[in-house]
Amino acid sequence: MKQIENIPDCGILLFKSCLVSVEYPGIESSTTYVFDKLGIDYLVSDEQSCCTGLGYYFDLFDQMSTTAVAARNFAIARKNGYNNITPMCSTCYAINKEACALLNSNDEVRSNINSVFKQAGLDDLIYEQNSLDEVDNFYHVVELFLSKAKQIGKLNTIDFSGVRVAAHHACHYYKIQSDDMIGNPNHPLLIDTIAKSCGADVVEWYEDKTLTCGAGFSQIHVNRDLSLKVTHAKLESLKEAGVELVLHMCPNCQIQYDRYQPVIEKEYGTKYDFVHMNIGQFVALALGADPEKVCGFQTHSVPLDGFLERIGVSF
């Protein structure tokens, strides 16, 4: 089981995400801003590909293809000596962890993929059994922040007292490999703890805290009404709790809340008075980052101007 005191702060491969890159690029710039401030030793590689998670959960990619793409990314991590694969997206986290477990435990999968590498003349990509460990080499960025929560609290420049904050912990971080999450999967508190270290007034429980965001990969596109029903239920639950800020740890969830909140307001004839941001954007802001040039809040659909003004940040 993963222990908070064992979370590494060096050899981190900050694993890029397709949805962060094209929907909320400020999540990546905020994360590297925080890593720099905290002295975390990390690498962002322009050779690393996306994890195929969307294709996999759209029912298109098969497990072997997804695992082969993961093995290539693992080779990039090893080649550079940055073996702690650390995504900003919960699906990248779960997909990579699962691929590593398969490569270590299933001889047929490993040899099949390695023979594809050999035949393509890509011998440097070959995966040696147990060259990465599916528990000790895979982290989510939120775990690194949690391990540095005290330091973050000390460096915090913003008075968050009285700001009602709630967290949405991403399903694929704590429900898939629940033994390897930090804390209790029935009541995840990673984001809550980080927000508290910055002095925020955290709402630990709200009715639908563990309900999925509703994106459901293809569901938002193919079963749009069903998808929005789930998101609406969650937003109602957050409204009931009287929160002002909802913190996220996955770009897919953030799209579902931030981009679809105005859509739901229109279609359901309701109004929500809260804004959304990723935990990386929150910590960067707390540590003094520029809301536009680092946090990239201008890319959000729910405007943050009013909220930022309320906490004394000019935007």
Q: Among residue numbers 108 through 127, which ones bind other proteins (CB under 8 A)?
A: 109, 112-113, 116-117, 119-122, 125
Query: Is residue 59 near other proteins by the rule CB under 8 A?
Result: yes
Q: Enumerate residues 149-178 that contact other proteins by CB under 8 A.
A: 171-172, 174-176, 178
Interacting positions 174-193 with other proteins (CB under 8 A)? 174-176, 178, 185-186
**Residue range at the interface with other proteins (CB under 8 A); choices 129-137, 138-146, 157-165, 293-301:** 293-301
CA distances from 189 to 193, 204, 247, 277, 295 (A): 6, 7, 12, 17, 23
Q: Which residue, 4 or 222, has its beta carbon nearer to other proteins?
A: 222
Tell me the window of 26-34, 140-148, 160-168, 273-281 that interacts with other proteins (CB under 8 A): 26-34
Closer residue to other proteins (CB): 171 or 182: 171
- Return the residue of 34, 40, 68, 132 that touches other proteins, per CB under 8 A: 68
Residues 255-258: contacts with CB under 8 Å, at least 24 apart: 255/19, 255/23, 255/24, 255/215, 256/213, 256/214, 256/215, 256/220, 256/227, 256/231, 257/168, 257/213, 257/231, 258/300, 258/301, 258/302
CB of 307 to other proteins, least distance (A): 15
Pick the piece of the chain touching other proteins (CB under 8 A) from 35-43, 64-72, 142-150, 305-313. Answer: 64-72
Q: Does 269 bind other proteins (CB under 8 A)?
A: no
The reply to whether 291 sits near other proteins by the rule CB under 8 A is no
Q: Which residue type occupies 255?
A: I
Least distance to other proteins from the beta carbon of 204, Å?
19
Residue 5 or 59 having the CB closest to other proteins: 59
d(CA 95, CA 245): 29
Asked whether position 25 contacts other proteins by CB under 8 A, the answer is: yes
Output the six-digit token pair for 241.
Answer: 């709790």
Nearest alpha carbon to residue 153 among 189, 191, 199: 199
Instruction: Establish if 211 lies at the interface with other proteins (CB under 8 A).
Output: yes
What minimum distance in Å lies between the beta carbon of 39 and other proteins? Answer: 19
* Cβ neighbours of residue 225 closer than 8 Å, sequence gap 6 or more: none
- CA dihedral of 99, 105, 111, 113, whole degrees rounded to 10: 0
Q: How far is the CB of 105 from other proteins (least distance, A)?
A: 7
Quote the CA–CA distance of 21 and 279 in Å, as a whole number: 16
Site for other proteins contains 306 (CB under 8 A): no
Residue 107's φ and ψ, nearest 5 degrees, are: -60, -35
* 156 touches 78 (CB < 8 A): no
